[in-house]
Structure 1
Amino acid sequence: MKKSIIILLFSISNFTFSQVEKDTIILNQHDIVEKTDTIFNVKTKPIINILSVNKKNGDFLDGLYRINIDDNNYFITNYRNGIEDNAIFNINKFYHNGQLKQLNIKGYQIIGSKYISIKDYNCHKRKLEGNYIDMQNNHIIEKIKINQKIRNKNIILIIKSKSSTSRIILERNLICICE
């Protein structure tokens, strides 16, 4: 049951990312202003949200964006009301000279308050190394080993940490075209 729910959630979110070429809004990183919004509560620790605002028009970022860092580097991510949309699922893809170099897989409902970061991502490698990283402070929580399998239209990531093993199934066109 849990596996089918995860696959369903990824299928729904894959529709969003499959429109990358058509619906992506292109913006330069220097055109984004980040504002910190802190919610204080006496029963819990403060909740800090980093809101991203388009400097040109003052609107919160909303939708799928390609953020250009410089001439050779950019990343693609999804925003909702100025906050990076990590509620269910979000993939940040970092590119250098047009080649996918780093993959961050996020989702509070699937992974929790950490995310998976895979540097030097290559869809042709069977074994990858990555990290679980805390979403609040971007510190490495734990190093992980990842076995990658390409099956039909899917990429299967088997994530092994010290405490558990989990599996994430993604549509291949969501990440990259691996032949």
Structure 2
Amino acid sequence: MSLKTPYKLCDYKVAYGFIFEEELKGYDYWGFCDTDVLLGDIYQFLEEHSFFENDYSRYGLLGHLQIFKNSQEVNHIFMSGQGLNYRLDFHNIFTSEQNFIFDEADGIQKIFEKIISNNCKISFLMILILVISPLENMVKMNLNAIIFGQRKMVWNQ
């Protein structure tokens, strides 16, 4: 295991279901988010978009917010990248000092797409995210493809 910088922790986030297996017993889902993410009633939001009744395996495409079903299959999926390519093999990722952004779209998302898309429900929920940057003195709108839910556009005013 390599952990020279705090940012390297991002590569390990997708393994939290495996690492904290004992602590997660009794929970249906687990997840992570960045420290600069503000959440409202996330349970209500997911409920409104049928996340729980559709029994999805994962919500989230990017590393700033992801929720995973607490199951053996999902909690071990990060190990399924062996043989796909160097950037998806957890042995390479966890032993290198380099950050692979394994929690992002080019990491765990690629594994979900290639390994279990036939076994798990995977569809897309489109969410409009408003990014406010005081440093740039501007407001940007970012259309984010988020995994799970049918292809829907959610627009809350």
TM-score by length of 2: 0.26
Higher RCO (Cα < 8 Å, 6 or more apart): 2
* Bigger strand fraction: 1
